[in-house]
């Protein structure tokens, strides 16, 4: 089966098709992670995007429900150099081709992904169309140019849960079967109630919160702050999610309404929402940060963390009020803001994903910091 990736500037890449025989469109980005492709596919932050993976072989360890970050893949399409037709791993329950086909995701393989990445690095992210059904490249390029841009679009409310729910990690075991006990907490520690805003939340974030002995209530993205406070939370979490943070006026207002009334922790899109709510501005990066090898410096400790990232926007440090907000982390690749904290209220945020494990555990302390913040707030 032939497949084509057409970019809005007229660049065409032809390859072999896998997954679903379909035509999808979206913003084309690249991810530099060496592993974790299933986590990438099922991360709601990729809603509306076609993902190019730079690792040359994808699919060789198959898929397992335990690695999914949500109930289904959110990517619009996949582009890879080599798409493995078989899987070789004891945890695998389904080969990647069947998994993506079942979920309606088209794949273009046997293409020069290095050329695509160099093109995107030089020219920035672009709109594109991936098709296994149409061979008219002029028509595909025209469709790519007609795609609505992500800028100014609220995607968070689209991928968010529609109803509140209680998250339950009934049997949090590691893969040796041993019961996981958070090292920062003594047995019998008081359980905290965290209300988590779902802008596209990943399952492992919820697991990390429960492992700090938190009962987690997940609420829709547009839930008013008054409704959250009525749940008597010990802390409020603002999740990751797709797209531009600026249209999320409701989320920014909720941050302002909750500030000083409960400890707050934000990740990725949540971090950008914090920045906007505290008077800052955001801007779009040329080709975003997507990968599992981004060095982040903690300015409080001087330590460098290897982090997982997935975002196209960043907070402009020049627009932040230094009397109110402190920058706590910076990205060593480009010096972008990677962490913030409020100087008066108990709230902080990071631009990366501390629930992921590229370091492998460099950033897990942030969940413990949130737990500690809630403990101190209760006192």
pLDDT(202) > 80: yes
Instruction: Tell me the β-bridge partners of 266.
Output: 238, 349
Report the C-alpha gap between 370 and 363 in whole angstroms.
12
Q: In this model, does residue 37 exceed pLDDT 50?
A: yes
As a whole number of Å, the end-to-end CA separation of the chain is 63
The C-alpha atoms of residue 214 and residue 217 are separated, in whole angstroms, by 10
What are the tens digits of pLDDT across the range 117-149? 999 999 999 999 999 888 899 999 999 999 988
**Which of 197, 194, 274, 282 is CA-nearest to residue 238?**
197
Question: How many percent of the chain have pLDDT more than 90?
Answer: 88
Q: Which two tokens stand for residue 203?
A: 């399952």
Nearest Cα to 205, choosing from 245, 237, 183, 231? 237
Tokens matching residue 344 = 């008066």
- For residues 292 and 307, give the distance between their C-alpha atoms in angstroms, rounded to a whole number: 6
Can you give the pLDDT at residue 188?
66
Residues labelled catalytic: 268, 353, 355
pLDDT above 90: residue 1? no
The pLDDT of 255-279, averaged and rounded, is 98
What structural domains and CATH numbers belong to the chain?
2-146 (3.50.30.20), 156-378 (3.40.50.880)
Residue 320 near residue 314, CB atoms below 8 Å: no
The confidence score (pLDDT) of residue 185 equals 62
**Mean pLDDT of the region 230-258:** 98
Model pLDDT, residue 360: 87
Helix (H) or strand (E) holding 269, with range, is helix 269-277
Q: What whole-number distance in Å separates Cα of residue 18 and Cα of residue 105? A: 9
pLDDT band of 359, cuts 50, 70, 90: confident
Mean pLDDT of the chain: 93
Strand partners, 30: 52
- The token pair at 283 is 């801007």
Tens of pLDDT along 68-79?
A: 999 999 999 999
Residue 280 has pLDDT above 80, yes or no: yes
Look at residue 168 in the predicted model and tell me its pLDDT: 82
pLDDT tens track for 152-193: 999 999 999 999 999 986 544 334 333 444 555 656 679 999
Question: What is residue 206's three-state secondary structure?
Answer: helix
pLDDT for 171 equals 43
User: What is the band of 53 on the pLDDT scale with cuts at 50, 70, 90?
Assistant: very high
């Amino acid at each position: 089966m032939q497949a084509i990736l057409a970019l809005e500037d007229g660049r065409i890449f032809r390859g072999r098709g896998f997954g679903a025989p379909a035509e999808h469109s979206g913003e084309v980005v690249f991810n530099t992670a060496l592993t974790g492709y299933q986590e990438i596919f099922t991360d709601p932050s990729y809603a509306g995007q076609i993902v190019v993976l730079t690792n040359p072989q994808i699919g060789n360890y198959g898929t397992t429900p335990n690695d999914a970050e949500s109930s289904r893949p959110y990517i619009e399409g996949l582009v890879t150099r080599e798409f493995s037709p078989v899987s070789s791993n004891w945890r695998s329950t389904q080969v990647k081709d069947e998994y993506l086909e079942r979920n309606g995701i088209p794949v273009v393989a046997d293409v020069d992904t290095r050329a695509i990445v160099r093109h995107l690095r030089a020219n920035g992210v672009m709109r594109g169309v991936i098709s296994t059904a149409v061979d008219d490249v002029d028509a595909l390029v025209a469709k790519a140019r007609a795609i609505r841009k992500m800028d100014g679009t609220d995607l968070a409310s689209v991928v968010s849960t529609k109803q509140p729910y209680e998250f339950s990690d009934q049997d949090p075991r590691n893969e040796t079967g041993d019961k996981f006990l958070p090292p920062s907490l003594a047995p019998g520690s008081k359980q905290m109630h965290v209300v988590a805003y779902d802008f596209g939340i990943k399952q492992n974030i919820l697991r990390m919160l429960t492992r700090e002995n938190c009962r987690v209530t997940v609420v829709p993205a547009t839930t008013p702050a008054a409704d959250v406070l009525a749940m008597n939370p010990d802390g409020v979490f603002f999740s990751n999610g797709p797209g531009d943070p600026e249209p999320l006026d409701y989320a920014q207002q909720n941050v302002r309404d909750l500030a000083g009334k409960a400890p707050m922790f934000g990740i990725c899109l949540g971090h950008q929402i914090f920045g906007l709510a505290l008077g800052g501005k955001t801007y779009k990066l040329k080709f975003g940060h997507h990968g599992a090898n981004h060095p982040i410096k903690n300015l409080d400790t001087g330590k460098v963390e290897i982090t997982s990232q997935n975002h196209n926007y960043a907070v402009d440090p020049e627009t932040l009020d230094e009397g109110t907000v402190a920058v706590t982390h910076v990205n060593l690749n480009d010096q972008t803001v990677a962490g913030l904290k409020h100087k008066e209220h108990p709230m902080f945020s990071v631009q990366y994903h501390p629930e992921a494990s590229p370091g492998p555990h460099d950033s897990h302390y942030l969940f413990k910091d949130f737990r500690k913040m809630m403990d101190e707030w209760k006192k």
